[in-house]
Amino acid sequence: MLRIIVKIFFILFTSNCLLAQGDSSIINELNYFKDGLYLTHSDFRKNSPVTKENINTDINKEQLDFYFKTTTREKINYSLNGANYSIESKTIWGFVQNKTLFVNFNGAFYRVPVFGSICYFAGVVEVIGYYNGIYDPVFGPGGARATKTQEVREFLMNYYDGIVVSFSMSEAEKLIKRDEEVYAQFKKLSKRNRKKQVSRYIRMYNEKHPIYTLN
């Protein structure tokens, strides 16, 4: 009876593995992905970009930062299967350039240095604040004047949904705690050290959990 149970388990396990291999591939690094524009997160997971050969532009395609320069244009024109398309740059999910991933957050593309199941990166964002004073020469007493400053902000992204969120310890813990062992080690640290070492534990998590692409 035990042999029958083991045999059934083996057959089911093998079948599931074959099905998984047919639907996805396990990868550990960004080198797998082709350079190009990924219009959607699904295109990225399928490794199906719009490459420079299909982009209609006057930008020199031999430049190393070709894709970055392409996304600075308001619109991008490209051709696929004999049809012409035009898309606004700010709607593109991201791009890979020289085996480096850049993702779109509020219309700006940020380099992702920590890539894996959990992606972690930082970028400079423009922040609008308001100055209130007793007297303003333009607005008069009690007037308010908008001021723009640039600040470095941190971001997180779950590879499987492609959604970028502003970094917070609660968001980081939400992702890390999916692995009990890594999370237990992380929680042993003081709050101060958690903040300092969060990127290290994200890398630790990623090493244990390689990502799956869509075929």
What pLDDT, on the 0 to 100 scale, is given for residue 43? 96
Alpha-carbon distance values, 166 to 80, 92, 122 (Å):
35, 19, 9
Please classify residue 158 by burial: count the beta carbons closer than 10 Å to its beta carbon, then call 0-12 exposed, 13-18 middle and 19+ buried.
middle
Query: What is the pLDDT, as a whole number, of residue 5?
Result: 40
Report d(CA 120, CA 156) in Å as an integer.
5
Tokens of 43: 């295109």
Along the 215 residues of the chain, how does pLDDT read in single tens digits?
Answer: 545 443 433 333 333 333 333 445 677 678 889 999 999 999 999 999 999 999 999 999 999 999 999 999 999 999 999 899 999 999 999 999 999 999 998 889 999 999 999 999 988 877 777 666 555 555 555 556 677 788 888 999 999 999 899 999 999 999 999 999 999 999 999 999 999 999 999 999 999 999 988 87
Reference 211, options 140, 118, 129; nearest CA is 118
Q: What is the pLDDT of residue 124?
A: 81
The pLDDT, as a whole number, for residue 186 is: 97
Write down the pLDDT at residue 29.
72
What is the structure's pLDDT at 127?
75
> ∠ at Cα 107 (104, 110), nearest 5°?
40
Q: C-alpha angle 93/66/47, rounded to 5°? A: 40
